[in-house]
Amino acid sequence: MATSVSAFDEFKPPSSSFWTLSRTRSALRVFGLAVMIVYSLLTIFPFYMLFVRSFVSTADSAQLHLWIPEARPVDMNSQVGNLAVFYDLDLRDLKDALGIPRNAFMGARETLAQISKKYNIPQEQIENYFEGFYTFNGWYTLLFGSLQGTTFWWGLFRTILIAFVSLGLLILLSVFTGFGLAGLRRRDQMYVYNLYLLQMVIPVMLIILPQYQMFQWFFKLFPGYDVQNSAIRNVLQIFALILINIKGTALSTMIFTSAISSVPRDLEESAMLDGASRLQYIRHILFPLLKVPIVSLTVIQLPLFYNQFLEPYVYLDPANTTLLPFIANRAGQFSTNFQVIYSGVFASIVPLLIVYLIFRRFFVEGVMAGAIKG
């Protein structure tokens, strides 16, 4: 006689090993999520502190602030000279805002209270003018101030222009150099590599003065170069900086030579049989295959070109300088305005961040293509 099996008898509870494995996986997920959150916070925290410090006045720069401090009123006993030196106060703007004639003498030791009494200006009007002065001094001085004939925006424009033009020309020249070296024998390639590696041994500080003198001798052949702030002088100085950036580097040469050497020769021979020239082969076949080395070189070189300080400081006039030298000069000559430094450093990061956010899809595709190919 067959015995009937109930639904309760058919149900078998999961074994203890199943529950143990499930709990272990859940714990690992939680642990991984916690690690990613902590890592993200540690990565973002320096940028957050940099942003907060840009709103901390120079007088309070030695204090620790974890958030933007409250705006404090201006001290009426503050001397005008100290405000001009430590906070880059423009006395012409102050006179225009308070209705004081521009030709009126304003002593460096005069206080705001004395100015209020001297020119019969209500104290509330002066306090309203300086409202938020300590909090936003760094950003206002950086974004709206000028120094030696240039501004933050012109410095940013020159920086972006030099960085992207240098990067584009460096990639183009490196591809042609790598294409030429890829056709050589391995032993001949090493001879050329050694010449490129030799320049990595020579410090930049050692050759920057001879390079500067060489460019000065060459540029003086152009009429109008000796005229300060002339168009020809500014263009030639930027041109010199781009030439220094695109000179053959061992890194870019090795990257593209190795990548082009891995491309089968059959592709080039097939293109030649179809009537394509070498230039057409490089443009239509080789360049699309070099997405990975192009992305790799861009990630390495673009921040280096963008964050240049020594070369622009030496080769460019103060009125024709790039972003970082402008920030260094804008921080003060007889004192240091730390708000300008923090604001400038944070502002200089934003363009690179925007470039990454716009082109991150290409960066990821290039890296993933190299990983899949490998």
CB atoms within 10 A of CB 99: 10
d(CA 116, CA 89): 17
Q: Return the domain boundaries, the chain.
A: 80-133, 148-330
Whole-angstrom distance, CA of residue 91 vs CA of residue 97: 10
Q: What is the mean pLDDT of residues 291-309?
A: 88
Assess whether pLDDT exceeds 70 at residue 15: no
Residue 318 and residue 19: Cα distance in Å, rounded? 70
pLDDT tens figures, 330-344: 877 777 888 888 999
Query: From the CB of residue 193, how many other CB atoms can be counted at a distance below 10 Å?
Result: 15
Measured from the Cβ of residue 26, the count of other Cβ atoms closer than 10 Å reads 10
pLDDT for 230: 82
Taking the C-alpha atoms of residue 354 and residue 309, their distance in angstroms, rounded to an integer, is: 21
Average pLDDT, the chain: 82
What count of other Cβ atoms lies within 10 Å of the Cβ of residue 10? Answer: 7
CB 178, CB 259: distance < 8 Å = yes
DSSP-derived letter for residue 72 is -
Predicted pLDDT of residue 159: 94
* Burial degree of 279 (CB within 10 A; 0-12, 13-18, 19+): exposed
pLDDT for 300 equals 85
Tokens of 240: 């010199």
Q: Is the pLDDT of residue 167 over 90?
A: yes
Name the CATH topology of 148-330: MetI-like fold (1.10.3720)
More confident residue, 40 or 23: 40
| Digit-coded pLDDT (tens) for 196-251 | 777 777 777 888 888 888 888 888 888 888 888 788 988 999 999 999 888 867 78
